[in-house]
Structure 1
Amino acid sequence: MTTAATISAPTSATPGLDARTVSTMTATALAVADMIGIGVFTSLGFQVASIPSAFSVLMLWIVGGIAALCGALAYAELAAAFPRSGGEYNFLTRIYHPAVGFLAGWISATLGFSAPIALAAMAFGEYFKGIVPGAPPLLLGLAVVWGVTLVHLSGIKHSSKFQNISTIIKGALILALIVAGLAYGVPQPISFAPSAIDTSYIASAPFAVSLVFVMYAYSGWNAATYIAGEIREPAVSLPRSIIAATLIVISCYVALNAVFLYTTPISAMAGQLDVAMVAGKHIFGEFGGMIVGALICIGLISSVSAMTWIGPRVTMAMGKDYALFRPLSIMSKNGVPTYAILLQLVIVSLLLMTQSFEAVLDTIQFSLTLCSFLAVLGVIVLRWTEPNLPRPYKTWGYPFTPLVFLGVTAFMMYHLVVERPLQSLAGLAIMLTGLAVYAYLQRRPVVGQDLNRTQHG
């Protein structure tokens, strides 16, 4: 009997199935939009509460950015070697075994993108309520999710335009906030130069703990790998888009936090969740909170759009490989996986209406981090097991860059297990339920050609 270990993409001639229409610019915009969400606007208040040093706080974002860039450099090698949609599902299947890839795909297709979309949508509703008092956050969140989904159902062409425009607007507003802060903000009596005490801050436990949340703010740098099958000239475009997006976001994050520190007293930000609103009021006056709220709302629409695009591509890739999920791989005449997008819409809507998305997000964090860890580790594994594998792009700084990412990620997983043992174990349990599904799928007919013959071809 042929098992699921020998499956691959189908050879269907469905319209749009093999079309590569996404440009490097759109792939970059997708990754930028996926990264810049709510994290950078909310985490500084908790950082300065225990690290009251401008230099140390900026180093926190620089170190986190370097770790993310190291991960991006490693993913670029994998994406160029295996230019198929699916992200970790594709990588782990090819590096280790289809069962490992299926577990990564299972968590991504079910909750890995749905929960962050629901969180971003609800955050949109809450911030919009700050602009228009009395507005219902839940209805606004649902409206954003459904509206963005309709755009993506209309086809790749419209999705690309919407993603590019919304990300450009987001970037322009962030740049405007940075410029306005430097031009009109009242400078605070702080120094960005290092001092003797910064050594103790950087070596402290609060710095290490804060780094975990900074890395979450950077998550999304691998976004383009999930739509690799739709990108033109992936061997060239994927590395460029992944690395460019990460560098852009590092610059934005460091500059934004520098402006917040430059314009707003640390005492006013310490312990505050809505630190961006606090800084906005110090820069623009009382009206500033509404300005920043509007900026965040626009940014969240861009983030919801990016994840709405990315998530169904994992489901689509799994549908190409497994007969049970084959309907989820069906492409519309506009080149989008309609049923996969609708499935994600249903899951997101349920999470929003049951208000369970934050608990789900806490639960799956360890599993998602583990998938990224295994993917980057795979770069090292493949250098040993398949030295002759065609690699259009090779990781810059190998092996040091992958090791940096692996070290930071291992620390994050350790912290999650120590601080949230029940959630971490529950996340692993959800992931491992995929094993039962995988075992069942092995008994079903195989879709496509032999993976062993096609995965490196």
Structure 2
Amino acid sequence: MDKKLKLWDATMLVMGSMIGSGIFIVSSDMMRNLGSGYWLITVWVITGIMTVAAAISYGELSSMFPKAGGQYTYITEIFGKMTGFLYGWGLFTVIQTGTIAAVAMAFGKFTAYLVPALNDSAPLFQSGGFKITWIQILAICVIMLLTYINTKGLKNGKILQDLFTTSKILALVGIIIFGFILVKNSMWSENMNFGWNAFQDFGKEVGNDLVPTGWKSIGGITLLGGIAAAMVGSVFSSVAWENVTFVSGEIENPKKNVVKSMVLGTIVVMVLYMLVNFVYLHALDRDGIAFADKNRPAVAASEVIFGNIGTVIMAVLVMISTFGCINGLVLAGSRVFQTMAKDGLFFKSAIENNKNNVPGKSLWMQGTWACVLALSGQYGDLLDMISFVIVLFYMITVFGVIYLRIKKPDLERPYKTWLYPITPILYLFIGTAFCVLLVFFKPQYTWPGFILILLGVPVYLFINRNKKTD
């Protein structure tokens, strides 16, 4: 296959897939869970360490298995076809397609700031709680458009990705710079004055029921629950960097460039995220972040920075950001499903490349299912449920680095994990703490994701009913 993605393109794919709508939205819910600027920054630091540690660890696997499919390929090679299939199953049913749907809906909702008629018009269809709105139709059109563009060849998707990712990075840098220059009354001191003990008081104030009965008196444990609940948002905003591994087969010198793009891309994005949160804490008071209109602290901060035109500026930035993010997710995800089809674990028709040398049918299958999720309106609930599962699969993959070092120490490793074994162990420690705390404090975020993945077991057994399973 032609290698058409250079290091720059791969890095743009990492950053473009990460920066979607999350950073503009999730800090509201995080502040409601935490109640303090200190804790908000702390959670973003933890998430940043976790994300970069995973990217560094994945680098070793990407150098060992430099082919299309990425994380699916690593899991399959290390733990067998069934484990790999369960990851791919989760990726197709919710992780990739649900994220595409959610980001496309965010594109529609922020477009409504510029075209209020999108919000004001009556639903096209309504039956009980189910309705189809013009925003959903716009989201579906964007998914279909970007799917179509990507079927026309890798070059088109690459150009779009580079253009939109560069645009949104420059725009974010602009927001950060102007955020510090133009805000006259800084809220930083006030937000930091709440200190480390603000969590419980603010939690009671906003009615956070984070702790099961019987745990109420244990303040430290309660705080850990708040941190885990807040991390659902920061983790969601920081995933999808691994999408670059899905297209390893189309990257020049993948043994070196995949790991470089992952490490460089994740570090830059996490620094940008941190600085954007500094702007929120500088421009808005605690309630202004926690209770921003429609959970959009970015819009509230932009109005403080730029005045009335701030809403329009932020709406345009989020539209650029989400458009580029969807493109990255569409481009990368289809390569995994094509690789699964070659392994006999997905629809056979997804194997073929079209005349433009891209997996056209895989792209359309992914796009169609993402549209169904956008139409159903259930993508938000699904993503809440699946954040836990995404981290579990990250942990399985990072553990694979340690497992292979022990089981197959003689395998060629063109790149070795920096500070091994500290880096993968650090990720596994934070990831385990996050998952265990969520099981205790937010079980509704955990067991549905488990069930969804377990539903893949009978599907796998059905697909392999006439084969010898491994």
TM-score calculated relative to the size of structure 1? 0.88
Mean Cα deviation higher: 178-187 or 53-62: 53-62
**2-side partners of 1:434 and 1:340: how far apart?**
19
CA deviation after TM superposition for structure 1 residue 395, in Å: 0.7
CA deviation after TM superposition for structure 1 residue 221, in Å: 2.2
Q: CA offsets, 1:228-257, max 9 Å, x none?
A: 111110011011000011011011101111
**1-side partners of 2:95 and 2:191: how far apart?**
40
What residue number does 1:128 align with?
111
Please state if 1:235 is matched with 2:255: yes
| From 415, 418, 421, the counterpart of 1:396 | 418
Q: Which residue type is aligned with residue 340 of structure 1?
A: S
Q: CA offsets, 1:11-45, max 9 Å, x none?
A: xxxxxxx2222111111111111111222111222
CA deviation after TM superposition for structure 1 residue 414, in Å: 2.0
| From 377, 382, 390, the counterpart of 2:404 | 382
Q: How many residues align?
A: 431
Q: Which residue type is aligned with residue 70 of structure 2?
A: G
**2-side partners of 1:211 and 1:362: how far apart?**
11
Mean Cα deviation higher: 432-441 or 300-309: 432-441
CA deviation after TM superposition for structure 1 residue 366, in Å: 2.9
The correspondence of residues 198-277 of structure 1 with structure 2, limited to 5 A, is 198=196, 204-205=223-224, 206-272=226-292, 273-277=295-299
SS in structure 2 opposite 1:388?
Answer: coil
Q: Which residue type is aligned with residue 149 of structure 2?
A: V
CA separation of 1:194/1:121 partners in 2, compared to 1, >3 Å: closer, same or farther? Answer: closer
Contact 2:164/2:323 (<8 A) preserved: yes
Q: Which residue type is aligned with residue 43 of structure 1?
A: V
Mean Cα deviation higher: 116-125 or 317-326: 317-326
Mean Cα deviation higher: 138-147 or 243-252: 138-147
CA separation of 1:415/1:216 partners in 2, compared to 1, >3 Å: closer, same or farther? Answer: farther
Mean Cα deviation higher: 419-428 or 291-300: 419-428
**1-side partners of 2:191 and 2:387: how far apart?**
35
What residue number does 1:73 align with?
56
| From 418, 427, 432, the counterpart of 2:440 | 418
| From 318, 336, 340, the counterpart of 1:318 | 340
What residue number does 2:154 align with?
156
What residue number does 1:144 align with?
142
Contact 1:120/1:300 (<8 A) preserved: yes
| From 14, 24, 27, the counterpart of 2:10 | 27
CA deviation after TM superposition for structure 1 residue 125, in Å: 0.8
Mean Cα deviation higher: 236-245 or 144-153: 144-153
What residue number does 2:309 align with?
287
CA separation of 1:404/1:193 partners in 2, compared to 1, >3 Å: closer, same or farther? Answer: farther
Q: Which residue type is aligned with residue 154 of structure 1?
A: K
Q: Which residue type is aligned with residue 134 of structure 1?
A: A
Please state if 1:108 is matched with 2:91: yes
CA deviation after TM superposition for structure 1 residue 208, in Å: 4.0
The correspondence of residues 41-52 of structure 1 with structure 2, limited to 5 A, is 41-49=24-32, 51-52=34-35
**2-side partners of 1:46 and 1:359: how far apart?**
15
**1-side partners of 2:387 and 2:30: how far apart?**
20
Mean Cα deviation higher: 87-96 or 335-344: 87-96
CA deviation after TM superposition for structure 1 residue 50, in Å: 5.2
Q: CA offsets, 1:387-419, max 9 Å, x none?
A: 011111111111111111111211222233334
Q: CA offsets, 1:38-71, max 9 Å, x none?
A: 2211122233345454444223212210111000
Q: CA offsets, 1:254-281, max 9 Å, x none?
A: 1111112112223322233111111011
Identity of aligned residues (%): 28
CA separation of 1:194/1:285 partners in 2, compared to 1, >3 Å: closer, same or farther? Answer: closer
Give the unaligned 5+ runs of structure 1: 1-17, 447-451, 453-457
CA deviation after TM superposition for structure 1 residue 335, in Å: 1.9
**1-side partners of 2:268 and 2:436: how far apart?**
29
Q: CA offsets, 1:150-189, max 9 Å, x none?
A: 1111100111111100111111111111111122122414
TM-score calculated relative to the size of structure 2? 0.86
Q: Which residue type is aligned with residue 82 of structure 1?
A: F
Contact 2:340/2:346 (<8 A) preserved: no
What residue number does 1:13 align with?
none
Q: Which residue type is aligned with residue 365 of structure 2?
A: L
**1-side partners of 2:146 and 2:164: how far apart?**
11
CA separation of 1:194/1:134 partners in 2, compared to 1, >3 Å: closer, same or farther? Answer: closer
SS in structure 1 opposite 2:460?
Answer: helix
**2-side partners of 1:23 and 1:314: how far apart?**
20
**2-side partners of 1:112 and 1:56: how far apart?**
28
What residue number does 1:435 align with?
457
CA deviation after TM superposition for structure 1 residue 197, in Å: 4.0
Mean Cα deviation higher: 331-340 or 54-63: 54-63
**2-side partners of 1:211 and 1:324: how far apart?**
33
Give the unaligned 5+ runs of structure 2: 119-133, 200-218
Contact 1:149/1:308 (<8 A) preserved: yes
CA deviation after TM superposition for structure 1 residue 216, in Å: 2.0
**1-side partners of 2:339 and 2:187: how far apart?**
54
**1-side partners of 2:152 and 2:63: how far apart?**
28
CA deviation after TM superposition for structure 1 residue 431, in Å: 1.8
SS in structure 1 opposite 2:455?
Answer: helix
Mean Cα deviation higher: 113-122 or 79-88: 79-88
CA deviation after TM superposition for structure 1 residue 360, in Å: 2.4
The correspondence of residues 80-119 of structure 1 with structure 2, limited to 5 A, is 80-119=63-102
Q: Which residue type is aligned with residue 253 of structure 1?
A: Y
Contact 2:144/2:367 (<8 A) preserved: yes
Q: CA offsets, 1:95-123, max 9 Å, x none?
A: 11111111111111232211111111111
CA separation of 1:353/1:197 partners in 2, compared to 1, >3 Å: closer, same or farther? Answer: closer
